[in-house]
Amino acid sequence: MNRRYRKTIIAGNWKMNKTPAEAKALIEEMKPLLSKTKWCEMVLCVPFTDIQAAVKAAKGSKIAIGAENMHFEKSGAFTGEISADMLKELGVKYVIIGHSERRQYFNETDEACGKKVQVALENGLRPILCVGESLTEREQDVTMEVIRKQIKIALQNVAVEDIKKVVIAYEPIWAIGTGKTATADQAQEVCAMIRHTIAEMYDEATAEAVRIQYGGSMNAGNAAELLSKPDIDGGLIGGAALKPDFGKIVNYNK
């Protein structure tokens, strides 16, 4: 990554794991491992029901708490949904938007992701917008088109002064939870294209300021190589963020 322009951001995505008591225990265990980390921002995105416990447990540390999803409406008849201001009031700083599991199981479209990104920004939450191709799309050599479309549609209404607050997570679907990490070169190639797309939509200087993460079976063993690439500014980590091992990823360069 280019530390001259951008601060690394390592985020965990707990998915549907951990009760509030388990969340508290895990954060307490991670805290000492993360206490001296200055070179990167650390975020743990947790289930809605864990947010209060996680915010409380992370107090006094450098860990920011994020959510894994939100609705794009402010309030109303959306049974089972959670709004941006509900998250904000609990102390949430980041929110994952358009994770491939939400796109796959809950039919989230690029347009819906775009609305969520807008509403998150309006409410002072920083979106982590996920994009990524399926195995078929990679095999059919349409990865770049697929991701370019996801970026252009989801970010079409984001103003130039806001885009720097958006984190983009490149997560090839075939690498998520499979133990099959993209090679550092594959990940770099796509992250560079994402930055190029942002430059086209805004300008070069703006694109240099936007942080792009890699996600998909990232762990303490492969983080260093991935993070050494010029356009990879951090990681979105699933499985490995459910263990104190997360501290090893965050401290890989010690």
Report the interface residues with ligand PGA, using CB under 6 A.
Answer: 13, 171, 176-177, 215-218, 236-240
CB of residue 216 to ligand PGA, shortest distance in Å? 5
Going by their DSSP bridges, the two strands 40-46 and 8-13 should be labelled as parallel
Does 171 participate in catalysis according to the annotation?
yes
Closest residue by beta carbon to ligand PGA: 238
Which of 12/114 has CB closer to ligand PGA? 12
Which of 216/247 has CB closer to ligand PGA? 216
- Residue 73, φ and ψ in degrees, nearest 5: -90, 155
Which of 8/217 has CB closer to ligand PGA? 217
Task: Report the alpha-carbon distance of residue 162 to residue 186 in Å, rounded.
Answer: 28
Which of 202/246 has CB closer to ligand PGA? 246
Q: Which of 135, 144, 127 is nearest to 72 (CA)?
A: 127
CB of residue 122 to ligand PGA, shortest distance in Å? 25
CB of residue 45 to ligand PGA, shortest distance in Å? 9
Tokens of 177: 């939870």
Is residue 108 classed as helix, strand or coil in its secondary structure?
A: coil
Which of 160/224 has CB closer to ligand PGA? 224
Task: Report the alpha-carbon distance of residue 194 to residue 40 in Å, rounded.
Answer: 21
Which of 82/176 has CB closer to ligand PGA? 176
Cβ atoms of 229 and 6 within 8 Å: the answer is: no
Q: Catalogue the E-assigned strands of the chain.
A: 8-13, 40-46, 63-67, 94-97, 126-131, 167-170, 211-215, 234-237
Per annotation, catalytic residue among 41, 68, 71, 99: 99
CB of residue 204 to ligand PGA, shortest distance in Å? 29
CB of residue 11 to ligand PGA, shortest distance in Å? 8
Residue 231 exposure: Cα atoms within 13 Å on the Cβ side = 20
Per annotation, catalytic residue among 41, 133, 137, 171: 171
- Residue 153, φ and ψ in degrees, nearest 5: -75, -45
Does 196 participate in catalysis according to the annotation?
no
Cβ atoms of 238 and 246 within 8 Å: the answer is: no
Task: Report the alpha-carbon distance of residue 91 to residue 231 in Å, rounded.
Answer: 30
CB of residue 108 to ligand PGA, shortest distance in Å? 14
Residues designated catalytic = 99, 171
